[in-house]
């Protein structure tokens, strides 16, 4: 009877059929009289680890930076900047370009950041976000601010002023006069 069914199917389906490896294993197992549990098929797929974020990240503020390691001077400037906008370094998350490399936009969005501060060149699809440098851009309940690298900003007073003006707009701070 099984052969009759296959013969009937062959007359109905004239194109070649291709199976993905997981389906092929399940069909072969059924033909051998055993079943493959869904867990076994799932375990053969690679499990992607979430993006590792440094810091508590409790306020949804994510800092992306070009540098693999931040110098003492740059870190000091960053701490002052975060404190000036009403947050502390224990509340924000930090991710370097190296960590984001080869990660998908879906991986990034799964972090659920509310504010993303991107400093410098990042090797990631986040660059496709149509934000202009030093201008706040909002998309899907996330606000983005793209700027030069933290190292460049720490060495240039004009870039510091430009960043401070953008941060005031982002965090709804009243400029001092």
For 48-73, the pLDDT digits (tens) are: 788 999 999 999 999 999 999 999 99
| DSSP class of 126 | G
Is the Cα dihedral 116, 122, 126, 131 positive or negative?
A: positive
Domains and CATH numbers, the chain: 2-44 (no CATH), 61-170 (3.40.470.10)
For 77-116, the pLDDT digits (tens) are: 999 999 999 999 889 999 999 999 989 999 999 999 999 9
For 131-172, the pLDDT digits (tens) are: 999 999 999 999 999 999 999 999 999 999 999 999 999 999
Contact call for residues 54 and 93 (beta carbons, < 8 A): yes
pTM above 0.75, yes or no: no
């Amino acid at each position: 009877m099984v052969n009759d069914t296959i013969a009937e199917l062959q007359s109905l389906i004239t194109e070649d059929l291709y199976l993905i490896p997981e389906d092929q294993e399940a069909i072969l197992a059924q033909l051998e009289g055993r079943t493959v549990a869904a867990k076994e098929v799932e375990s053969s797929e690679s499990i992607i680890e979430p993006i590792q974020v440094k810091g508590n990240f409790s306020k949804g503020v994510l800092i992306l930076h070009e540098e693999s390691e931040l110098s003492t001077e740059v870190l000091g400037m960053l701490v002052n900047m975060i404190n000036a906008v009403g947050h502390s370094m224990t509340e924000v998350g930090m991710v370097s370009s190296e960590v984001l490399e080869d990660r998908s936009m879906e991986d990034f969005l799964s972090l659920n950041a509310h504010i993303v501060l991107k400093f410098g060149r990042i090797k990631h699809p986040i660059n496709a976000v149509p934000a202009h440098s030093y201008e706040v851009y909002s998309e899907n309940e996330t606000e983005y601010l793209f700027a030069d690298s933290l190292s460049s900003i720490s060495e240039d007073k004009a870039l510091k002023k430009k960043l401070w003006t953008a941060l005031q707009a982002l965090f709804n701070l009243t400029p001092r006069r």
